[in-house]
A and B are shown apart, each in its own frame.
Chain A
């Protein structure tokens, strides 16, 4: 098929919305990062929830464990925020409700993400 896009449009590589490719790509990149992280997390959480608060806090003293948990939280919440955004944009068509839902979801996710990271730092330094 002959390419009907202008050379400039082709060079810029953007669609009619002028954005979205970045969002799509980031969703994939975070998902690739989550393959090892989520596997590690599934195993870790199954072991950690058997122990007491003291034992579990001790686990976070290990730099690698704290770092892996922090990475899991960062990529997990990032991926979740982007996934939920797509779901909302697909199903909520009233503009007011859509903006409200997006704001609510993103603010909740960022708050929980930051709180989790602070908790990991506190546990690591404890």
Chain B
């Protein structure tokens, strides 16, 4: 009874204190996996809208394509492409950990940079194809 009062009048310390941690590739990639996952959820909803418009409102399809090929639409689509590649490659990294492979500090850091590199290559290639840039 008494301890309950103390708890109420004096708020307990909260954890984690994000600001006291030093920057780490592992923690950054971890939260990026979540963020890209949430972003891709919204992307999947747009895929559903695409299918519904195509099947039930084909007369509106041109308008939909116009929207996704507008400058704003292109930025969003590019963001989703990067998010998709990142979540795919980092997801495979997670699956390796789940079967007990590559979960030591050295390999976790290495595979983290590899995921970033692969995302940059695939994302960059997709952007180049979309904007029809040829090297």
Q: Chain A: residues with CB nearer than 8 A to chain B? A: 28, 31-32, 34-35, 38-39, 42, 45-46, 49, 52-54, 56-57, 69, 73, 76-77, 80, 83-84, 87, 108-109, 112-113, 115-116, 118-120, 122-123, 126
Contact = CB atoms under 8 A, between A and B. Distances in A.
B130 A116 contact: no
Contacts of A57: 54-55, 58
B30 interface: no
Interface string B56-91: 101001100100110000000000010010001001
B84 A42 contact: yes
Main DSSP-derived SS at the A contact region: helix
Contact of A112 (B48, B55, B126): B48
Contact of A84 (B41, B91, B95): B41
5 contacts: A35-B91, A42-B81, A87-B38, A112-B45, A122-B56
Interface of B: 34, 37-38, 40-41, 44-45, 47-48, 51-52, 54-56, 58, 61-62, 65, 68-69, 81, 84, 88, 91-92, 94-95, 98, 126, 129-130
A119 B51 CA distance: 6
Given A31-B91, A46-B129, A52-B61, A87 B45 contact: no
B45 A84 contact: no
A39 B81 CA distance: 11
Contacts of B40: 80
Contact of A116 (B52, B95, B126): B52
Nearest to A25: B98
Contacts of B38: 83-84, 87
Pick the most buried of B54, B81, B98, B129: most chain A CB atoms within 10 A of its CB: B54
B44 A80 contact: yes
Given A57-B58, A83-B41, A115 B52 contact: yes
A39 B52 CA distance: 22
B37 A120 contact: no
